[in-house]
Chains A and B, each alone.
Chain A
């Protein structure tokens, strides 16, 4: 049962344009959502997150939107740069306690930004 899904395996965008990466989830107990970026031969690195009580969080060129009723979130990158080319993972967590450290990840979306 895939609780977090990224239905687009890849996305290609021109430099300077907007990149929109999408993520859907099924577990209504998730209370935090995170985006990680991964370059080849490196571990995933944290990018941005959002609490389930918010609908938007912005950090520089990166904005995450959450539509709780649709169980959908998206990551917007504006403007896109060639250095943004990487695999982007959506992840979700369901609070602390026994779930501490447990992130449920999507399959990832490969973003390619062309100069």
Chain B
């Protein structure tokens, strides 16, 4: 399966600032997915990053708040803009790495970037 590296692993940010999270995959992949896990909550898909086209955002997430870049097939960035304490979360990058024996699409996740906004 793919190896995913995320940077930074954690950061403490000030309200109103923006932070860019980087995701590097050790193999070429068509789609990369950005998830968020707020404290005590489940993982939620933010958007799908497509190489060569605009990212596709899920309901409740907008490009102005979470701009995404996908310059090539192994790299993507997610920016969290104009941060507030409510943006304190773990942000995870993931890629599809094939099917399980039962036929499910399996996602492999990075270790995540834990952001704390003061």
Interface residues of A, Cβ cutoff 8 Å to B: 2, 4, 32-34, 41-46, 48-51, 54, 57, 59, 89, 91, 93, 96, 98, 100-108
Instruction: For the complex, count residues of B whose C-beta is within 8 A of A.
Output: 29
Q: Check B45–A101 contact: CB distance below 8 A.
A: yes
Q: Check A32–B102 contact: CB distance below 8 A.
A: yes
Residues of B within 8 A of A57 (CB): 101-102
Residues of B within 8 A of A48 (CB): 100
Q: Check B96–A100 contact: CB distance below 8 A.
A: yes
Interface residues of B, Cβ cutoff 8 Å to A: 4, 9, 31, 33, 40-45, 48, 56, 58, 92, 94, 96, 100-112
Nearest chain B residue, comparing its CB with the CB of A38: B109
Given A42-B111, A43-B109, the answer on whether A4 and B31 have CB atoms closer than 8 Å is no
Of the candidates A4, A41, A93, A98, the one whose C-beta lies within 8 Å of that of B105 is A93
Q: Check A49–B106 contact: CB distance below 8 A.
A: yes
Most central of B31, B101, B102, B111 by chain A CB within 10 Å: B102
Instruction: Give the docked Cα–Cα distance between A42 and B5 (Å).
Output: 11
Q: Ordered nearest first, which 8 A-B pairs have the shortest CB separation?
A: A43-B109, A32-B104, A49-B104, A105-B42, A105-B43, A49-B100, A101-B33, A51-B102
Residues of A within 8 A of B110 (CB): 43
Instruction: Give the docked Cα–Cα distance between A32 and B9 (Å).
Output: 31
Instruction: Give the docked Cα–Cα distance between A100 and B49 (Å).
Output: 12
Given A49-B102, A50-B102, the answer on whether A101 and B31 have CB atoms closer than 8 Å is yes
Residues of A within 8 A of B107 (CB): 46, 101, 103
